[in-house]
Amino acid sequence: MVQSRTHNCGELRMTNVGETVRICGWLENLREVGSELAFAVLRDFYGTTQVVLETPELIAEFKALNKESTVAVDGAVRERASKNPKQPTGDIEVVPTKMEVLGRCRYNELPFQINRSKEADETARLRYRFLDLRNPDVKKNIVLRCQVVAALRAAMTEQGFLEITTPILTASSPEGARDYLVPSRNHPGKFYALPQAPQQFKQLLMASGFDRYFQIAPCFRDEDARADRSPGEFYQLDMEMAFASQEDVFGVLEAVLPPIFTKFGKYPASAPFKRIPYLEALEKYGSDKPDLRIHLELTNATEALGGCGFGPFEGANIYAVVAPGFNHPRKFIDKLISDVEVQTAEKTYWFRLDENGEPVGGIAKFVAPVKDAVTAALGLKPGDFVGIAASPARLTAQKTAGTLLKLLGNACDEYIDRERYEFCWIVDFPMYEIGEESGELEFCHNPFSMPQGGLEVLKKAEAGEIDPLSILAYQYDLVCNGVELSSGAVRNHEPEIMIEAFKFVRLDEDAVKSKFPAMYNAFCYGAPPHAGIAPGVDRMVMLMAGEESIREVIPFPMNKNAQDLMMSAPSEVTQKQLDELHIVVTATEEE
């Protein structure tokens, strides 16, 4: 059986008219015009070609096949009488002399229409992902991903970075999420961990004398799914630089990313990226992931509205979002306020100014007595809409108002410039924060970051001279269009500073040496100052593809429950396997 094709299904043109060809592909459609005329469409990776059937025998052969069977067609290329200008091969058709079945589809009914699979239920799409990927609109995202990864590799190599792979089986390390653990057969009761990131290894490479490292690194975290986060595993452009500062890292990514986003994305991108201190981002945007395409900011309205007599405002921090020239109905406002509450579990309030500049709607009766002060403080004009968040906790008020800002901006074209990529650096993150679950001091970002002020500022905090929460770190986030692409930092490369930093999260010197033996020992032999970052490949491709869900740019994604429906993972294993790994299962999901 000869399967070699002379052309693919997206290749034939008028210049091929008169040639004898062999094309192979999936039977996408069969349309009968009469007993002696039918049209078949063959699809492969490259496109589609029309095949015209002009004998009852050939029509019968094709009718005997289910859609999505793979076939080979031998025949002559001729000019189409009725051309299709929307199709690259729309000027020609193939008149077959022979059809050969290469792979028969055994099912009369498909779980969804291939070319409309994106409209199907997600469970069906993931269970039959091999069919979903036949859809050209789905496939193009995977092709884009390949192109972007190749471009990233080329750009990083051009910047003088070496691609070095780091281990997948390693030791468990506190990176901020749950580890995936792998039991050791040869070491009963001990476990490897899949790396949440190559953090320690890339720092050890710097201590080993390598100057610039990168890899397209697989990372594994047992965390819940979100629209911009895939559960289980993801990939990042991991990089580290020796003898480097924050500015060096910024310079590399500002050189590498804008050309790639401009070439492969939907809109242009440019550098340098705007830099916003963390506390300023919260104050102006209510988020450390601001979408700078939105032309709205927060205003601290505590002084202006705190004494208006409205109960929820008393003793609260109050932040307002002003939407100028607002022209949307009450139904829109009600949905906006409801959506904010769903996302934040916090109530928000509103009013607007009518054409005479008088407060109307929402909490207008409380605003009216202080109208002049509020108008001046917020810079209001007739027709403006004001959304308000209030809470005794300043951060809660800021984040709630920030959610309102983002929802409002995304819902109204007049407040957002959608056709661009807007990058920014969020800098000067706090070194520590109070954990939401623990209620105790925890690292805000990466535990291996250098505090601003070094050992001296840590000693002052230990002595009680300053609040540990006031310590800033050389940490930074890269954000694009409201999506956090990456966190990075200048690393803590001095053992004394490392030990002192971990004291605040209740890990003493012995614990540090025990948990991070390789890094501690390497730093004791003289490590260079170094810094790095790791933008998420999946998130970057999602932005370039213009997709809302990260699963659209991953070849074989898991569902929201971290299940691979196609491969039935996770799955049960045999008792023999458990015995070899010294594991006893004490409970099952069914119980």
Tell me what pLDDT residue 583 has. Answer: 92
The confidence score (pLDDT) of residue 435 equals: 84
Task: Answer whether residue 440 shows pLDDT above 80.
Answer: yes
Q: Which CATH number fits domain 150-275+422-566: 3.30.930.10, 3.40.630.10, 3.30.2350.10, 3.40.710.10?
A: 3.30.930.10
- Compute the average pLDDT of residues 413-442: 93
Rounded to whole angstroms, how far apart are CA atoms 182 and 232?
Answer: 14
Report the pLDDT averaged over residues 542-569: 94
Domain ranges for the chain: 14-103, 150-275+422-566, 294-415
Percent of the chain with pLDDT over 90: 91
Which pair of tokens denotes residue 508?
């003493």
Q: What is the DSSP string of 320-337?
A: EEEETT----HHHHHHHH
> Is 2.40.50.140 the CATH classification of the domain at 14-103?
yes
- pLDDT bin (cut points 50, 70, 90) of residue 587 is confident
Residues linked to residue 294 through DSSP beta bridges, in sequence order: 416
CA distance 480 to 546: 12
- Is the predicted pLDDT of residue 161 greater than 70, yes or no? yes
> What digits encode the pLDDT tens for the residues 272-289?
999 999 999 999 999 999
Q: Give the model confidence (pLDDT) of 66-102 as tens digits.
A: 999 999 999 999 999 999 999 999 999 999 999 999 9
Q: Give mean pLDDT, residues 241-259.
A: 98
Please state the three-class secondary structure of 460-520 as a single string: HHHCCCCCHHHCEECEEEEEECCEEEEEEEEECCCHHHHHHHHHCCCCCHHHHHHHCHHHH
Calpha distance 440→364 (Å, rounded): 41
Q: Is 330 exposed, middle or buried (0-12, 13-18, 19+ CB in 10 A)?
A: exposed
Residue 1 has pLDDT above 70, yes or no: no
How much is the average pLDDT of 40-65? 96
Q: What is the rounded average pLDDT for all residues in the chain?
A: 94
> With bands split at pLDDT 50, 70 and 90, how would you rate the model's confidence at 591?
very low
236, two tokens: 């990042």
**Tens digit of each residue's pLDDT (9 = 90 or more) over 299-331:** 999 999 999 999 999 999 999 999 999 999 999
Of 1 and 261, the structure prediction assigns the larger pLDDT to: 261
DSSP 564: B
Architecture in CATH of 294-415: 2-Layer Sandwich (3.30)
